[in-house]
Chains A and B, each alone.
Chain A
Amino acid sequence: MLLATAVLLPFLLMLLPAALERARVPPALSAGLVALGVAAALAWLAPVVASGALVQYSVPWVPSIGLDFALRLDGLSLLFAGLIAGIGLLVILYAHYYLSDEDCNGRFFAYLLLFMGSMLGVATADNLLLLLIFWELTSLSSFLLIGFWRGAAEARQGARLALLVTGAGGLALLGGVLLIGDIVGSYSLAAVLAAGEAIRGDPRYPWLLTLVLLGAFTKSAQFPFHFWLPHAMAAPTPVSAYLHSATMVKAGIFLLMRLWPALAGTPEWFWIVSTAGLVTMLFAAYVALFKHDLKGLLAYSTISQLGLITLLLGLGTPLAEIAAVFHLMNHAAFKASLFMAAGIVDHETGTRDMRRLSGLARHMPYTATLAIVAAAAMAGVPLLNGFISKEMFFAETFALQPPWSWLMPLAATLGGLFSVAYSARFVHDVFFGGEARDLPRKPHEPPRFMIVPVEILVVICLLVGLAPALVVEPTLRLAAGALLQRPLPEFSLALWHGFNLPFAMSVCALVGGIALYLVRRYLWALHTRETQWLSGKHITEALVEALGAASARLHSGLERGGLRLSLLAFLVVAIAAGAIGFGGVAPQPTRTMLPGGVVPWIGVAVLVMATGATVVLHRERVLAVVAVGVIGLIVSLAFVKLSAPDLALTQLLVEVSTVLLLLLAMYFLPQRSPRDSSDARRVVDGVIALAAGGGAAVLAWAMLMAPGETISGYHLANAKPGGGGYNVVNVILVDFRALDTLGEITVLGIAAVAIVALLDRIELPARALDWEGRPWSSGHSLSLEVLSRPLLPLALLVSVYLLLRGHNEPGGGFIAGLVTGTALLIQYLAHGNAWVEVRLPPRYTSVAAAGILIAMLTGLASLAFGAPFLTSTFAYVSWPVVGKFELASAMVFDVGVYLAVVGVVLSILATIGRQHGKAEQA
């Protein structure tokens, strides 16, 4: 529980700094307290973990897909979470001084807490799917942090690039995790780690390994996916110190460590991981030497050091894994302090360009000292932490088979040599040399507390370097044990192991690196001739642009002749696919047909005639609307005949409203369509229409004649005992499938809102004459006016009756709503807008919204009784005089449906009707 609180604390409180943004100190203070709280919780749990127990917390989240909110704290998670909380705390303190008053520091700390929570989640997740969720959250929050200075194009591009690369990696990782889950049968980390044999033996192992590694390599900036990291340096420096040295880029490494027992130990693992690590280490160390930007140098050196850790993980020996964990810790300490030092230099001088910076040791001797110690740790100078983990790395490179037993040490020495050279450059170019001439600001020491985080980290570097066995060995043993999931081999952490080969390699690297730095000017001359286009950023951007251009070409190829052609293509494909589906075999009738009878024959004959009339007369719009009305009537008669009274009622009422609507709209539209399609086009359309109609008819007939069991038995049997109603259709609507109905009335509401919005400030030309050239009548029909008044109360009474009886007899909310709507519409028609609106304020969208809300609250009410959403209940009540009757909660739901339908119908028609009022006045 404490563990879950620690992980969720940053998420829960992330809005706190943003809320406190007005003042200068509170945002940083609140964020710092959150980080302190997390650190305290971890410290509280640390003794439990140290005793060998596993702290776990688990609640099911989505059990059907195997996703649990499961957390674990073992040695490895503890180490990682400790880094996240500890360095997070230092970075918050540092950032408070780094950010200027113009920066929205509340927003910054909110993002930072979001990131911290996500990283803690990655470190402690005990379920691979959960890990993936937090993994994606780190990508998103780092996007926000890198792009924090959103005014700068560089920051936006860098953020986008980082999101693109790490997001693509996350997608690959998802594939890998799903494969692992499929093989293991569970996403639980314990099950996955125990099933290493099964995973490695599966034929899909190469695929899942590649996918997981893609995820890890993109996150940890391994070659060839390293290029996003240098561009992410557009972020504020505290972000770089936190994300790009200590935490986020280590997430990929952490994943490799976490899954090491399950995935490692195969030739594929060795070759892919160690090659990627080796190439990254050498390539990035080389590039780092040529970066003139301080943060650029640090970015590439980070990539290189991450490559070193990856290489160690790839080697696969238990000792190499221990070295990897050790170097991960050391790197976090010295790199975070270096980034902070670089930020201080930038902050106090206004530039990060090493060609302009020079001789700063005179102005900021204290910062310089700290930076020099940290840089020495990075270079692997004895007495510092970097030296010890590098020695371990050098020793491990001998453990391979020839020719690697001499090639690998050579490559390792070369990598060390470059790291000495760029470290020397960092120190010498910035802090020594002559006085800098054209610095934007006069350099001086930073505020006292801005340097505290650097001090703490540098002291850690020193302590670990001087007394590793004392300071760091217990933590290291704990973490490495959790990584390997088996007893650790013998090893000793010591400053001095005697004159052996690794020490000789260290000396070579130190001497060679300094020599390389001395001859750097010749190298630069060589390097500047290197082609600029060979950068990952350019290649990615070119790829993205090419993809965009290709899809634009595809789109313009498909969308040539407007909507009609697209529709035509769609229809032809649908008809062809349907024809293939039939396979040329005529359906074999297996049911006996119902007898036709005279009335159905007449009905269909009228239907065919009315349809034909619609097609022939479609350009005479008023006549076509009348013909469509006839078709609608026939359809509702068909519903009556086919034992569907509810449908017949609904269809009839909708028909009335639709025709009214069409007539209202007709006022603003041309009354006739001109003949503007050619004969050839009409023939083509006709052929396609006949084919579609024929296909639909054959399909309907085949379906009607095929044997089929329906699931209606269940609904019929349970309507009364389960839903308390005899009208099964209504019980399905308001009870069995009430969620669908809720969705549907919501869609109706959305349609009404869209219609109101579309008609907002519309300008429609009023037409003085009708289609025969006669002026429109200005008054209202007297007979309609007289008749409509007594009709309204009658219709309302009928609709209430239909609503109340709907559960047991034909009727219900939809039908009652349409009756009310139609009754009110007739008032509009008979008396005009002004008359109605005086008597009935037109707030119909609110009525619709109230209806949807009532329906939703009915559903929520069942939650209060511990039942699932939208569970219904009913009871029989006995009143004197009235007698015994039934009350069902579903009826309240139906009232919601009723109100929604009334509100929607009226808001649609009244909004259009109002246009008439405007047009008449104009």
Chain B
Amino acid sequence: METNKMIQVELMETAPGLASISREHPFKLPEHYFEKAEVAILESIKINEAAKEVLLSENKEHLFKLPANYFDDLPGSILYKIKEEEINSATSKKGIVRFVGKNKWWMAAAASVLIVISLSIFKQAAVPSFVSTINNDTTYLLLESASALPDQMVVDLYLESQATTFTNSVIANNEVNYLMEAADLNNEYINSL
């Protein structure tokens, strides 16, 4: 009671406007809330306790059965498995080494053949794509040296440019025309071939 008065005096000094307002609040409760809440709290506690009892119950270890002497035999069987795995992995490593050791000349020859075949396939596949992506600088160089090219090569380039699309041909049609000029060749000559 003394505290109430002290709090009121303190409030009068700090915030007299607030001190003059009633402390009643606007919050309401459902009917018989506290009685029901008490029951609900005790119910939740009982449920929690029951769950805890089940979890801590000594019976839990009897829910599952074990083979006779399971735990006595367990360390031995684990060690046996570990050793077995160690032996297996050592054997498989040795096997690989022995195979390679015995057949190293035969394997080296096979690898060489494989490399040669792969390279020839790569060369065949790579050349067209390389030629088709020939850039402008390369074309310029080709034109620069056109007079030095054999006539037949220039003719072949011309025929190829006529037979293929722009993107697939070695050089573009107009570039072939320059090439032909540079090589002192003309359409009449080509037609006469």
A, B assembled together: no
Instruction: Give residues in B with beta carbon < 8 Å to A.
Output: none
A contacts, CB < 8 Å to B:
none
